[in-house]
Amino acid sequence: MIERSERMKKPTIAITMGDPCGIGPEVIVKGLLEKKLYTLCRPFVIGDARRISEAAGQFAPGISIRTIKTTAEARFREGVLEVLEPAETPLPPMAYGQPHPEAARAALQAITRGAEMALRGEIDGITTAPINKEGMKAIGFAFPGHTEFLADIAKSDRFAMMMVGGGLKITLTTIHLSLRDAITQLRKEKILDAIRLTDAAMKKDFGIERPRIAVTALNPHAGERGIFGDEEKREVLPAVDAAGKEEINVFGPFPADTLFYQLKTGRFDAAVALFHDQALIPIKLLAFGNAINVTIGLPFIRTSVDHGTAYDIAGKGIADPGSLQEALKLAAEMARFRTRR
């Protein structure tokens, strides 16, 4: 358990390796070249030390690798990247850019260890590098992605994905579904839950005591009084009204084509979007390569990069570590807000 005095100094953040055949190892070692990160937090990696060492030698020769068994052994010094190995045996040799069953298992072991450490209070949060969903499915991983798996480990029934970047904070009501299925799932209670989670996260993790939250409409022009659809009247507006009765400072529904401009210019602190691309298009337009995925509703902090394993460029030395760096900075910032409460 980390003592409160240590947390008040600098939070301890674990970076999970992700798929070792993707760009995860590269963006981690390149990202940790930024000295400022060590002034904000105490980072270390959970993953295969040999794979991380290979990546450091190839992509960040200024970094040396040191293996640890517990965080108590870590020194958290810039230029020395400490790696905690969740597996007893090292990974076999494997090529970048090609799926490998052992790569998927290694990614799963790292995520699991990080979540368990966070739940025990040994670390302040985790920042996750990307996994390959197809590879994870092949080894029996029964979840759409990190978000749902971490919620299952934490036994969290209420959780959501919030995307942060470009001055925007947007919670997704539905995540990885076809548009047809997402619309089917848009019910008052689900939207209300996303509003509640956003309100709680903005207070707990971003230090805003009374956040202004806007909710998007589903249809063009917010349905134009039912001409273009009645989901706003049937499901969205009742959710907004119910949240208002709970003294949540919420507004909407607003047409999505104008709402994000208002969010960007400061009229609102956060928004609740109704489906995946409604949230991700403005985020990636404004912060492509530097956006952050945050899981809200968990008992611990989890941030992640906004990109996938990028097998097509893995091993080529051209992966941008910007999103990893931003995700680590945000995890540290969220941890500081939590200690102040």
Q: Are residues 6 and 144 in the same domain?
A: yes
Q: Are residues 174 and 260 in the same domain?
A: yes
pLDDT the model gives residue 8? 54
Helix (H) or strand (E) holding 253: strand 250-254
Q: Are residues 129 and 181 in the same domain?
A: no
Task: Provide the domain count of the chain.
Answer: 2
CB-based contact 34:65 (threshold 8 Å): no
Report the alpha-carbon distance of residue 215 to residue 191 in Å, rounded: 9
Q: Are residues 216 and 130 in the same domain?
A: no
CB-based contact 38:80 (threshold 8 Å): no
Report the alpha-carbon distance of residue 305 to residue 325 in Å, rounded: 9
**Which of 282, 297, 312 delimits the end of a domain?**
297
Residues in a beta bridge with 16: 46, 128
Q: Are residues 122 and 37 in the same domain?
A: yes
**Which of 261, 280, 297 delimits the end of a domain?**
297
Six token digits for residue 8: 């008040």
Q: Are residues 135 and 27 in the same domain?
A: yes
Q: Are residues 15 and 128 in the same domain?
A: yes
Task: Give the helix ranges, DSSP H, for 207-319.
Answer: 231, 237-245, 256-264, 276-287
Q: Walk along the chain (341 residues) and give the pLDDT tens digit of each residue.
A: 554 445 457 999 999 999 999 999 999 999 999 999 999 999 999 999 999 999 999 999 989 999 999 999 999 999 999 999 998 888 999 999 999 989 999 999 999 999 999 999 999 999 999 999 889 999 999 998 889 999 999 999 999 999 999 999 999 999 888 999 999 999 999 999 999 999 999 999 999 999 999 999 998 887 677 777 789 899 999 999 999 999 999 999 999 999 999 999 999 999 999 999 999 999 999 999 899 999 999 999 999 999 999 999 999 999 999 999 999 999 999 999 998 76
pLDDT the model gives residue 254? 97
Domain residues for the domain of 103 are: 1-155+299-341
Single-letter residue type at 30? K
95: exposed, middle or buried (Cβ count in 10 Å: 0-12, 13-18, 19+): exposed
Q: Are residues 208 and 71 in the same domain?
A: no
Report the alpha-carbon distance of residue 195 to residue 249 in Å, rounded: 10
Which CATH number fits the domain that encloses residue 218? 3.40.718.10
Q: Are residues 139 and 201 in the same domain?
A: no
Report the alpha-carbon distance of residue 86 to residue 83 in Å, rounded: 9
Six token digits for residue 129: 């590098």
Q: Are residues 111 and 253 in the same domain?
A: no
Q: Are residues 6 and 94 in the same domain?
A: yes
pLDDT the model gives residue 226? 75
Q: Are residues 84 and 106 in the same domain?
A: yes
Instruction: Measure Cα distances from 108 to 103, 113, 158 in Å.
Output: 9, 9, 22
pLDDT the model gives residue 7? 46
If you count them, how many residues does the chain have? 341
Say if strands 160-165 and 270-273 run parallel, antiparallel, or are unpaired.
unpaired
**Which of 276, 297, 318 delimits the end of a domain?**
297
pLDDT the model gives residue 224? 72
